[in-house]
Amino acid sequence: MALAVSVGLILVFDLRLLRLAFAAEPVSRIMEQFVPLSLPGFAAMFITGLLLFISQAEKVYQNTFFRFKLALLVLAGLNALLYQLKFYPKMAEWDKSGVVPWGARVSGALSLIIWACIIALGRTMAYEL
Amino acid sequence: MSLQQIWEWSYSSKTVDVLRNAKYAIPVIQSFHLFGLTLVLGTTVVFNLRLLGLGVRKISMPALTNQLWRLAVGGLLLSAATGILVFIPDPARYAANTAFKTKLVILVMAILFHFTVFRKVVRAKVPPRPRRAALIAAASLTLWFCVGWAGRAIAFLG
């Protein structure tokens, strides 16, 4: 259920980067209003995920879908980190012009795709346990 | 044609047989089901936080409704469509499942609430009084999260 409060909120921000939602609001405002709310959601996801993992660690670790899911989680983290390092520092500038740099748009699109795949892999791995 | 006959007919159809026997058909459909759920629950949480004044305060309720209501409706349609696809290959199993029956009842209540009381309050020009906002948020969050939990419980309860 924490899925909704983590991924559900991040995708609002991703959609803004792609101008598919809140196009009239500055990106910085959407980020400041939505992204902090997702952090407790992500914390809950990691804690409950860890608990599920340790309950049958050996079996889960062997699962190919689980391994791909972990890899994609790392990728989602790297994608967010890249945004923070490359596009966040100059956000005030490009936000004023109203044009989201193409790299930031790619980052938003990647985030949407990666999280959708993480959901799919998480669901599918249960069928292989 | 009765509902029973519809299920029997679809159960024995070739298309549904493919769904039932393809190894990854159900988990893939369920992934879309979960993605729809993420949209419905995610937007519901946002609306309720705004209603309670606990978050997204710098974005007006009309702007939120204008931008997010369609995501909620889209998510609900996606979840409903994929939910039906998960149901039809194995209707007897679900029909006998207490968690599934509970989920359907709460789901109907949640949808009715969402498209009447809740829709009205997120579209109102004047924000509701704090007490009313709290009641509505409590009802909305309880209903939708119970739909999710009951759904998850289907796999674990008979």
**Single-letter amino acid, residue B121:** V
- Contact of A102 with A18, CB cutoff 8 Å: no
pLDDT digit string, tens, across residues B95-105 = 999 999 999 99
Query: In this predicted structure, what is the pLDDT of residue A24?
Result: 93
pTM of the model: 0.92
| Chain A residue numbers touching B23 (CB-CB < 8 A) | 127
ipTM reported for the complex, 2 dp: 0.90
In the chain, the amino acid numbered B152 is: R
pLDDT digits 0-9 by tens, B29-53: 999 999 999 999 999 999 999 999 9
pLDDT tens-digit series, residues A32-66: 999 999 999 999 999 999 999 999 999 999 999 99
Q: Helices (DSSP H) in chain B: which residue ranges?
A: 3-11, 14-21, 25-52, 61-87, 91-95, 98-113, 119-123, 130-153
pLDDT, residue B11, reads 85
Q: Which of B35, B44, B56 sits opposite A33 (nearest CB)?
A: B56
Q: What is the pLDDT of residue B158?
A: 65
How far apart are the C-alpha atoms of A17 and B94, rounded to whole Å?
A: 41
What value does the mean pLDDT of chain B take? Answer: 93
Query: Which residue of chain B has the CA closest to A121?
Result: B31
Domains in chain B: boundaries = 3-7+13-153
Q: Is A51 on the interface with B (CB under 8 A)?
A: no
Q: Are B50 and B56 in contact (CB under 8 A)?
A: yes
